[in-house]
Amino acid sequence: MKVLKFGGTSVANSQNIKLVLDIVQNQAKQDQLIVVVSALSKVTDLLQLASQKAASTDESYKEIVAEIEQKHLNAVKELIPVSEQSSVLSHIKRIINHLETLLDGCFLLGELSNRTSDTILSFGELLSSYIIAEALKQNYKNSTYKDSRELIKTDNNFGKATVNFKVTNELINNFYAANESQVILMPGFIASSVDGINTTLGRGGSDYTAAIMAGALDATDLEIWTDVNGMYTANPKIVKQAQPIASISYQEAMELSHFGAKVLFPPTIQPVLRKNIPIHIKNTFEPQAEGTYISAQSISNGQPVKGISHIENITLITLEGPGMIGVTGSSKRLFEVLSQEKINVIFITQASSEHSICIGILNEDAEAAEDAINKAFEIEILQHKIDPCIVEKNLCIIALVGENMKNHQGLSGKMFSTLGKNNVNIRAIAQGASERNISAVINQRDVKKALNTLHERFFEDNTKQLNLFVMGVGNVGEKFIDQINQQKKFLKENLKINLRVIALSNSRKMIFDEEGIDLKAWHSAIENGEPADQELFIKRVKDQNLRNSIFVDITANEGVSKTYEHFLRQSVAVVTCNKIACSSAFDNYKNLKNLSRRYNAPFLFETNVGAGLPIIDTVKNLVASGDKINKIQAVLSGSLNFIFNNFDKNNSFETVVKEAGVQGFTEPDPKIDLSGIDVARKILILIRESGYEMEIESIENESFLPAACMETVNNQDFFKSLVDHAAHFEGILAEANEKESRLKFVAQFEDGKASVGLQFIPKDHPFYNLEGKDNIVLFYTDRYVDQPLLIKGAGAGAAVTASGIFADVIRIGNV
């Protein structure tokens, strides 16, 4: 004999009920069945709302009753042949009339007792089970209906009654022995006290009803039919990558269900555990799916953690003070007062010093618990031996669960380091002696990030999902997005990095998509996006609170550079090619570096110097290994190198500068490059990364541009000024030719002094043969004394800059 239970979503409507009837009839060919059904989906919530409105003298409860009635009448009309509907509809109408009478009483009295509430809530299962039983009889005659209130007897603890198993088991066995039907259908959730008063078994109690029946009759199996393919490694509504668990032990299932795995009501396991009856969780809508098999044995798949679960809406209450140290009975008094208030304690942890004890309860119980505890310890509080209890609301408990966790070292370390890297603050920790569960209390706003981060760490083959928020989609930004789209599959398969672009913004529009923007259609998407708003962009990143978030700045905008602090404080990594932040005031640069360390949020800016060349990374490695950089000589502007390599008697200076802009080598405002400020920023960043303190004003800038060129306010006037001063530039070129030298814009640092300026480079100098848009840097250090460390390569261009940004993103993924 088997017991099958179908939940509210399985019987949500007539279409779903027909699927249930098919499953029942197919299984009845091999086994005798007891079928337990819940109320139609959402009906129990409607009944509860109606009773609350009636008790508060709100006449809208009548509209809710009408909605409930219509829902069930529709089910009858769609499931029962017209010729058979009359008696069924009459029965439904009688039940609804009884419900209305009870609610009218609540309305007149203006109150709702727990006893009355139990009776009202029972109508959901009474209505659904009767309709489904009648529908089953139409095609399967060897079936009968039984009211579970006649079999399951409880105490009078209305709302969550305790079952009297001695009486209940005897009644069930006597009934079953006298019944010859192949299928017995009955309502779940509801029971009655020994003196015949309606009681309920708690929300989710239909599972419990089925387990009570299975345990009493020594069933071969208990099947829980729901709308998912079993118990999952995490809540699939929050963790999209969650997978069904094929096999799990009773103890693991109890832990997961206790900590919020809603697919199974926690008390369900107890009646079948004693009889070693397996539970099979199946999907009504995919009956062929494997589901989850719960038994005494947990089949190991090599993974010590079986699942991650959570409970939301938790309040943490802490009682502490020197008056608790060495005083016996403090804990007893605390838990006694909570028991008297019928407050369930979900989480407990106590300091080894006995100075404090911390408990987790539901938010709804917080006020009553605080008042009761402070009253119980009133004398000690007045004597300042114990502090008034500390109450922290809107928290969440997350838990790792697994039978084999006790055999694996370091799981706690992995759990907390993973959360720490994403700035998930741990408020309290508890671990049972069985080591089957590690629990932590966190802020509720961090739930999604925490669950996804932990699931990624323990279940996804260490694949790390990076969520990118990109500002700036010009030449470099477009290349960057193209490179991500091209390499996405390779990164996931080979580096275990899953890249998703969550947001894109240019100066006019922005788009957000938490599931990831389609990188093949982003152009049209952003054109149809909402107006760009920097403050709203920051707020959205903060509100989404995604794990492994990275803000990517591909602009040259000073305002954008000032947002980095906001992101780093939220543990959002920053990757930027924008040089303004790192070349701003030294205190700001230092603050950003400190925030990066404090909030464990990488701040990477490799492309600030040399585009895609590993210049800054080399400096970091030299310094980290104990070397000291004493001197730097460099050509750091690919755009200026391109300009002076192509400026000759056949190409005017103005023409070459325009061509550099067309090829994407200069900033949108070419004056930034030609003025030397861009190179000054770059050498300043190298100096600071080398461990020296310096401001931009301390760098001598020997400009080769005439003052009139520098005073222009737009690109049109600037290019006109280059034409007007063509003779000046031709004179510089002539002097270089006369000296048999080449023009290079050089940055230097030595003995605490730095300068940038145009120089005549002779043929024997390493810079002489620097072609195209290449950069070159010479580092003279304690280790590289006679022969400098040399880095050379393309230092400008959209593609190489984008690849440098991409490399920084990948670095974060590999951390």
The tens digit of pLDDT for each residue in 502-513 reads 999 999 999 999
pLDDT at 734 (0 to 100): 94
Domain spans of the chain, in order of start: 2-227, 307-459, 464-605, 615-796
pLDDT of residue 169: 96
Residue 299: predicted pLDDT: 67
- The pLDDT value recorded for residue 434 is 58
pLDDT-derived band at 134 (thresholds 50, 70, 90) equals: very high
Closest of 563, 514, 517 to residue 543, by C-alpha: 514
Query: Percentage of residues in the chain with pLDDT exceeding 90?
Result: 76
Q: Do domains 307-459 and 464-605 have the same CATH topology?
A: no
Q: Which CATH number fits domain 615-796: 3.20.20.140, 3.50.50.60, 1.10.8.60, 3.30.360.10?
A: 3.30.360.10
| Residue with the two structure tokens 């602009």 | 555
Residue 672 is predicted with a pLDDT of 86
| Least reliable range by pLDDT among 102-106, 322-326, 367-371, 693-697 | 322-326
Percent of the chain surpassing pLDDT 70: 98
φ/ψ of 756, rounded to 5, equals -135, 145
Residue 801: per-residue pLDDT: 92
**Chain position carrying tokens 């780093």:** 568
Residue 809 has pLDDT above 70, yes or no: yes
- Closest among 528, 538, 529 to 559, alpha carbons compared: 538
Is 100 or 773 the better-scoring residue by pLDDT?
100
Q: What Å distances lie between residue 609 and 154, 621, 669, 683, CA to CA?
A: 75, 16, 18, 8
Rounded to an integer, the average pLDDT of 743-766 is 94
Please answer whether residues 615 and 605 qualify as being in contact, where contact means their C-beta atoms are separated by less than 8 angstroms.
Answer: no
**Nearest alpha-carbon partner for 75 in 145, 11, 10:** 11
CATH number 3.40.1160.10 is the correct assignment for the domain at 2-227: yes
The three-state secondary structure class of 793 is strand
SS3 34: strand
Confidence at 432, pLDDT banded by 50, 70, 90: low
The overall average pLDDT reported for the chain is 92
Mean pLDDT score, 135-155: 95
Does 165 score more than 70 pLDDT? yes
Q: Which residues of 168-206 are buried (b: 16+ CB within 10 A; e: fewer)?
A: bbebbeeebeeeebbbbbbbbbbbbbeeebbbbbeebbb
pLDDT value, residue 422: 86
Reported confidence tier of residue 435, pLDDT bands at 50, 70, 90? low
Q: Report the CATH number of the 307-459 domain.
A: 3.30.2130.10
The yes-or-no verdict on residue 583 having pLDDT over 60 is: yes
Quick one: average pLDDT of 127-142?
94
Q: What is the pLDDT of residue 323?
A: 83
Q: What are the tens digits of pLDDT across the range 313-325?
A: 999 999 988 888 8
Average pLDDT, integer, range 561-580? 95
pLDDT band at 467 (very low <50, low <70, confident <90, very high): very high
- Tell me the C-alpha distance between 477 and 577, whole Å: 10
Q: What is the pLDDT of residue 210?
A: 96
Q: Does residue 203 register a pLDDT over 90?
A: no
Q: Does position 486 have pLDDT exceeding 60, yes or no? A: yes
How many C-alpha atoms does 633 have within 13 Å on its Cβ side? 13
**CB contact at 8 A, 703 and 732:** no
State residue 773's pLDDT score.
Answer: 82
Q: Which residues are catalytically annotated? A: 682
306-363 confidence digits (pLDDT tens):
899 999 999 999 998 888 887 778 888 899 999 999 898 988 887 666 678 999 999 9
- What secondary structure letter does DSSP report for 635? E
According to the model, what pLDDT value does residue 259 have?
72
pLDDT exceeds 60 at position 770: yes
pLDDT of residue 353: 62
Reported as a single tens digit per residue, the pLDDT across 210-235 is 999 999 999 999 999 999 999 999 99
Residue 687: is its pLDDT beyond 90? yes
Q: What's the confidence (pLDDT) of residue 92?
A: 96
Distance CA(111)–CA(420), nearest Å, equals 48
Please say if the pLDDT value at position 540 is more than 70: yes
Instruction: Specify the fold of 464-605.
Output: Rossmann fold (3.40.50)
The pLDDT value given to residue 39 = 95
Instruction: Give the angle subtended at the CA of 524 by the CAs of 518 and 525, to the nearest 5°.
Output: 55
Amino acid identity, position 303: Q
Q: How many CB atoms lie within 10 A of CB 67?
A: 13
pLDDT at 266: 73
**Which pLDDT score, from 0 to 100, does residue 433 have?**
54
Question: Could you tell me which residues come within 8 angstroms of residue 400 by beta carbon, excluding any fewer than 6 positions away?
Answer: 305, 308, 411, 415, 437, 438, 454, 458
